[in-house]
Amino acid sequence: MAAPLTTEQIGIRELKTHLSRYLKRVRAGTRLVVTDRGRSIATITPVETPPDTVWVSDLMAVGGAHWGGGKPQGSVRPPRLAGSRVSSVVLEDRR
């Protein structure tokens, strides 16, 4: 069972001024209620991790993998495949 979310109210101007700070709080499990002149207008809540990707978080937690948040670049030494290339097989099939 997940821990209950803490809730904070924040005005639009304060949120705009310190957006990164508040998004870090959301990432840590805080729910933000955004207000405009004292009236609630929106809620920002953390995204739940899909159950089929939990193993990735577990692997990263034990140091088995890492990700800097950027676009994956691929391997420095990509594996060599034995046999024909897919493009050659497709061209051969079209003949």
pTM score: 0.51
The domain containing residue 6 runs over which residues? 1-41
**Is 32 domain-assigned?**
yes
**Is 58 domain-assigned?**
no
Is the pLDDT confidence value at 2 over 60?
A: no
Residue-wise burial string across 55-83, b where 16 or more C-beta atoms lie within 10 A, e elsewhere: eeeeeeeeeeeeeeeeeeeeeeeeeeeee
**Is 1 domain-assigned?**
yes
pLDDT in tens, 17-70: 999 999 999 998 899 999 999 999 999 999 887 778 888 878 888 988 877 778
**Is 76 domain-assigned?**
no
**Is 74 domain-assigned?**
no
**How many distinct structural domains can be found in the chain?**
1
**Is 63 domain-assigned?**
no
**Is 62 domain-assigned?**
no
**Is 48 domain-assigned?**
no
